[in-house]
Amino acid sequence: IPKTTVKLEKESALKVLKLIELFEDDDDVQNVFHNLELTDEMLKEM
């Protein structure tokens, strides 16, 4: 669990979430971790 989180503007956060999703979809990747602070609004847009 990260002790320091990062807040991004909505547009930047959505770009990062898309990148994370691409990593998770890759069969060679086992785990993906991040310290992005997500809002409910960002999660709804995914």
Contact 16, 36 (CB under 8 A): yes
Domain assignment present for residue 21? The answer is: yes
Domain assignment present for residue 1? The answer is: no
d(CA 43, CA 40): 5
Domain assignment present for residue 23? The answer is: yes
| Residue with token string 């995914």 | 46
pLDDT in tens, 17-42: 999 999 999 999 999 999 999 888 87
Residue 31's pLDDT is 94
**Is residue 1 predicted with pLDDT exceeding 80?**
no
- Cα–Cα nearest to 32, from 18, 14, 46, 11: 18
Residue 46's pLDDT is 72
Domain assignment present for residue 30? The answer is: yes
Residue 2's pLDDT is 76
Domain assignment present for residue 19? The answer is: yes
* pTM (predicted TM-score): 0.74
Residue 42's pLDDT is 79
Share the mean pLDDT of the chain: 90
Domain assignment present for residue 17? The answer is: yes
Domain assignment present for residue 18? The answer is: yes
Domain that holds residue 20: 10-44
Task: Please state the domain count of the chain.
Answer: 1
